[in-house]
Amino acid sequence: MAEPFVSEVVIERLPLYLRMLQFLEKEGKQVTSSQELAERLGFSSAQIRKDLSYFGEFGKQGTGYNVMFLQRQLRRILQIEQTRDMALIGVGDLGRALANYQGFLEQGFHLVALFDSAPQKIGMTVGGLTVQPMTELARVIQERKLQVVILAVPAQAAQQVANRLVELGVRAILNYAPITLSVPSDVRVYNIDPVIGLQSMAYYLK
Protein backbone atom coordinates (compact mmCIF):
# COMPACT_ATOMS: atom_id res chain seq x y z
CA MET A 1 0.00 0.00 0.00
CA ALA A 2 1.34 3.45 -0.93
CA GLU A 3 2.42 5.70 1.89
CA PRO A 4 0.15 8.71 2.51
CA PHE A 5 1.37 12.03 1.16
CA VAL A 6 2.78 14.18 3.95
CA SER A 7 3.26 17.87 3.19
CA GLU A 8 6.55 19.65 3.76
CA VAL A 9 5.01 21.86 6.44
CA VAL A 10 4.10 18.83 8.50
CA ILE A 11 7.65 17.46 8.25
CA GLU A 12 9.04 20.85 9.31
CA ARG A 13 6.88 20.80 12.46
CA LEU A 14 8.11 17.38 13.60
CA PRO A 15 11.53 18.66 14.81
CA LEU A 16 9.69 21.31 16.85
CA TYR A 17 7.68 18.57 18.55
CA LEU A 18 10.86 16.59 19.17
CA ARG A 19 12.64 19.58 20.71
CA MET A 20 9.72 20.33 23.01
CA LEU A 21 9.62 16.69 24.13
CA GLN A 22 13.32 16.97 24.98
CA PHE A 23 12.57 20.06 27.09
CA LEU A 24 9.75 18.20 28.85
CA GLU A 25 12.07 15.28 29.56
CA LYS A 26 14.59 17.65 31.17
CA GLU A 27 11.77 19.01 33.32
CA GLY A 28 11.17 15.47 34.57
CA LYS A 29 7.89 14.89 32.72
CA GLN A 30 7.11 11.35 31.64
CA VAL A 31 3.73 11.97 30.01
CA THR A 32 2.41 14.89 27.97
CA SER A 33 -0.68 15.69 25.92
CA SER A 34 -1.43 17.35 22.62
CA GLN A 35 -2.96 20.20 24.63
CA GLU A 36 0.24 20.78 26.61
CA LEU A 37 2.34 20.63 23.45
CA ALA A 38 -0.06 23.06 21.78
CA GLU A 39 0.18 25.56 24.63
CA ARG A 40 3.97 25.41 24.61
CA LEU A 41 4.40 25.60 20.84
CA GLY A 42 1.57 27.89 19.79
CA PHE A 43 -0.15 25.33 17.55
CA SER A 44 -3.63 23.88 18.00
CA SER A 45 -3.89 20.50 19.72
CA ALA A 46 -5.93 19.26 16.74
CA GLN A 47 -3.08 20.18 14.40
CA ILE A 48 -0.57 18.26 16.50
CA ARG A 49 -2.78 15.18 16.64
CA LYS A 50 -3.37 15.35 12.89
CA ASP A 51 0.37 15.71 12.15
CA LEU A 52 1.25 12.69 14.28
CA SER A 53 -1.60 10.62 12.86
CA TYR A 54 0.09 10.53 9.45
CA PHE A 55 2.69 8.22 10.96
CA GLY A 56 0.69 6.08 13.37
CA GLU A 57 -0.98 6.07 16.78
CA PHE A 58 1.43 7.17 19.51
CA GLY A 59 -0.86 7.95 22.43
CA LYS A 60 -4.11 6.91 24.04
CA GLN A 61 -7.14 9.10 24.57
CA GLY A 62 -7.24 10.21 28.17
CA THR A 63 -3.65 9.21 28.91
CA GLY A 64 -1.65 11.30 26.43
CA TYR A 65 1.81 10.56 25.07
CA ASN A 66 4.76 8.92 26.76
CA VAL A 67 7.50 11.54 26.36
CA MET A 68 10.40 9.13 25.79
CA PHE A 69 8.42 6.84 23.48
CA LEU A 70 7.23 9.72 21.30
CA GLN A 71 10.78 11.07 21.09
CA ARG A 72 12.00 7.70 19.81
CA GLN A 73 9.20 7.54 17.26
CA LEU A 74 9.91 11.04 15.95
CA ARG A 75 13.60 10.23 15.63
CA ARG A 76 12.65 7.13 13.65
CA ILE A 77 10.33 9.10 11.38
CA LEU A 78 12.96 11.81 10.81
CA GLN A 79 15.62 9.12 10.26
CA ILE A 80 17.92 10.46 12.96
CA GLU A 81 17.94 7.40 15.18
CA GLN A 82 21.64 7.12 14.42
CA THR A 83 24.10 10.00 14.14
CA ARG A 84 24.54 11.33 10.60
CA ASP A 85 27.95 12.62 9.52
CA MET A 86 28.10 15.90 7.61
CA ALA A 87 30.55 18.43 6.17
CA LEU A 88 30.75 22.22 6.29
CA ILE A 89 31.93 24.29 3.33
CA GLY A 90 33.00 27.87 4.02
CA VAL A 91 34.99 28.73 7.13
CA GLY A 92 34.42 32.47 7.39
CA ASP A 93 32.95 34.12 10.49
CA LEU A 94 29.67 32.21 10.17
CA GLY A 95 31.34 28.94 9.24
CA ARG A 96 33.65 29.11 12.27
CA ALA A 97 30.68 29.72 14.54
CA LEU A 98 28.88 26.71 13.07
CA ALA A 99 31.99 24.54 13.36
CA ASN A 100 32.25 25.41 17.06
CA TYR A 101 28.54 24.83 17.75
CA GLN A 102 28.07 21.86 20.08
CA GLY A 103 24.35 21.41 19.52
CA PHE A 104 24.60 19.44 16.28
CA LEU A 105 25.97 16.28 17.85
CA GLU A 106 23.42 16.03 20.63
CA GLN A 107 20.67 16.28 18.01
CA GLY A 108 22.02 13.50 15.81
CA PHE A 109 24.41 15.26 13.42
CA HIS A 110 28.19 14.91 13.53
CA LEU A 111 30.34 17.49 11.76
CA VAL A 112 33.33 15.52 10.43
CA ALA A 113 34.94 17.73 7.78
CA LEU A 114 35.56 21.42 7.00
CA PHE A 115 36.41 22.87 3.58
CA ASP A 116 37.38 26.26 2.22
CA SER A 117 38.90 27.65 -0.97
CA ALA A 118 41.03 30.34 0.69
CA PRO A 119 44.69 29.22 0.91
CA GLN A 120 45.24 31.08 4.20
CA LYS A 121 42.51 29.03 5.89
CA ILE A 122 43.77 25.61 4.81
CA GLY A 123 45.29 23.77 7.75
CA MET A 124 43.54 25.88 10.39
CA THR A 125 41.92 24.00 13.26
CA VAL A 126 38.34 25.03 13.99
CA GLY A 127 36.08 23.16 16.37
CA GLY A 128 38.64 20.37 16.59
CA LEU A 129 38.70 19.84 12.80
CA THR A 130 41.34 20.79 10.25
CA VAL A 131 40.18 22.93 7.33
CA GLN A 132 40.78 21.07 4.07
CA PRO A 133 41.06 22.44 0.51
CA MET A 134 38.17 22.04 -1.90
CA THR A 135 40.31 19.65 -3.93
CA GLU A 136 39.72 17.09 -1.14
CA LEU A 137 35.93 17.49 -1.22
CA ALA A 138 35.14 14.63 -3.60
CA ARG A 139 37.43 12.17 -1.84
CA VAL A 140 36.04 12.90 1.64
CA ILE A 141 32.39 12.86 0.58
CA GLN A 142 32.81 9.57 -1.25
CA GLU A 143 34.95 7.88 1.42
CA ARG A 144 32.65 8.91 4.27
CA LYS A 145 29.45 8.57 2.21
CA LEU A 146 28.27 12.01 3.29
CA GLN A 147 24.76 13.01 2.29
CA VAL A 148 24.41 16.20 4.34
CA VAL A 149 26.43 19.39 3.82
CA ILE A 150 26.21 22.83 5.42
CA LEU A 151 26.93 25.61 2.93
CA ALA A 152 28.30 28.87 4.37
CA VAL A 153 30.00 30.37 1.33
CA PRO A 154 29.52 33.79 -0.34
CA ALA A 155 26.45 34.10 -2.55
CA GLN A 156 28.48 34.29 -5.77
CA ALA A 157 30.08 30.90 -5.10
CA ALA A 158 27.07 29.06 -3.68
CA GLN A 159 25.44 27.73 -6.87
CA GLN A 160 28.71 26.41 -8.27
CA VAL A 161 29.47 24.60 -5.02
CA ALA A 162 25.91 23.27 -4.85
CA ASN A 163 26.25 21.89 -8.40
CA ARG A 164 29.40 20.05 -7.36
CA LEU A 165 27.70 18.63 -4.27
CA VAL A 166 24.84 17.31 -6.40
CA GLU A 167 27.35 15.64 -8.72
CA LEU A 168 28.95 13.96 -5.70
CA GLY A 169 25.64 12.53 -4.50
CA VAL A 170 24.86 14.88 -1.61
CA ARG A 171 21.13 14.71 -0.86
CA ALA A 172 20.63 17.51 1.68
CA ILE A 173 22.07 21.03 1.83
CA LEU A 174 21.63 23.43 4.73
CA ASN A 175 22.20 26.71 2.91
CA TYR A 176 23.36 29.83 4.75
CA ALA A 177 24.35 31.64 1.54
CA PRO A 178 21.98 34.54 0.76
CA ILE A 179 20.83 33.06 -2.54
CA THR A 180 18.19 30.61 -3.72
CA LEU A 181 19.89 27.48 -5.02
CA SER A 182 18.72 25.56 -8.08
CA VAL A 183 19.02 21.80 -7.47
CA PRO A 184 17.26 18.64 -8.71
CA SER A 185 13.96 17.74 -7.07
CA ASP A 186 15.49 14.81 -5.19
CA VAL A 187 17.96 17.09 -3.37
CA ARG A 188 16.60 18.90 -0.33
CA VAL A 189 17.72 22.46 0.38
CA TYR A 190 16.84 24.33 3.57
CA ASN A 191 17.66 28.03 3.44
CA ILE A 192 18.61 30.04 6.51
CA ASP A 193 18.94 33.77 5.88
CA PRO A 194 18.90 35.98 9.01
CA VAL A 195 18.52 39.14 6.92
CA ILE A 196 15.26 37.92 5.38
CA GLY A 197 14.02 37.06 8.86
CA LEU A 198 14.88 40.53 10.14
CA GLN A 199 13.27 42.22 7.14
CA SER A 200 10.08 40.20 7.62
CA MET A 201 9.91 41.13 11.32
CA ALA A 202 10.55 44.80 10.56
CA TYR A 203 7.15 44.96 8.82
CA TYR A 204 5.47 44.51 12.21
CA LEU A 205 7.46 47.23 13.97
CA LYS A 206 4.88 49.91 13.33
pLDDT tens, residue by residue, 45-88: 999 999 999 998 887 766 789 999 999 999 999 988 889 999 99
Residue 203 maps to a domain: no
Q: Is the domain of 43 the same as that of 71? A: yes
- 114-143: string of b/e by CB count within 10 Å (b at 16+)? bbbbeeebbeeebbebebbebeebeebbee
User: Which amino acid is present at 111?
Assistant: L
Q: Are residues 52 and 112 in the same domain?
A: no
The CA distance from 145 to 134, in Å, is: 17
Are residues 90 and 68 part of one domain? Answer: no
Question: Of 179, 149, 188, 180, nearest to 165 (Cα)?
Answer: 149
Question: Which pLDDT score, from 0 to 100, does residue 32 have?
Answer: 94
Residues 41 and 96 in one domain: no
Closest to 85 in 3D by CA, of 57, 105, 56, 101: 105
Q: What confidence score (pLDDT) does residue 1 get? A: 43
Same domain for 102 and 151? yes
Closest to 39 measured CA to CA, from 47, 51, 28: 47
**What confidence score (pLDDT) does residue 180 get?**
93
Q: Is the pLDDT of residue 201 over 70?
A: yes
Shared domain check, 141 and 124: yes
Task: Identify the pLDDT of residue 4.
Answer: 65
Residue 3 above 60 pLDDT? no
At residue 57, the pLDDT reads 84
**Diameter of the chain measured on Cα atoms:** 62
Residue 80 CA from chain centroid, whole number: 10
**Residue 150 and residue 86 in contact, taking contact as beta carbons nearer than 8 Å:** yes
What is the torsion angle, in degrees rounded to the nearest 10, for the CA atoms of residue 192, residue 197, residue 199 and residue 205? -170
pLDDT in tens, 136-189: 999 999 999 999 999 999 999 999 999 999 999 999 999 999 999 999 999 999
C-alpha–C-alpha distance, residues 79 and 204, integer Å: 37
pTM, rounded to two decimals: 0.85
pLDDT of residue 206: 80
Range of the domain at 96: 84-197
Rounded CA-CA distance 160/56 in Å is 41
Chain segment 77-125, per-residue pLDDT in tens: 998 888 999 999 999 999 999 999 989 988 889 999 999 999 999 999 9
Q: Could you tell me if 162 and 188 lie in one domain?
A: yes
Please state the domain count of the chain. 2
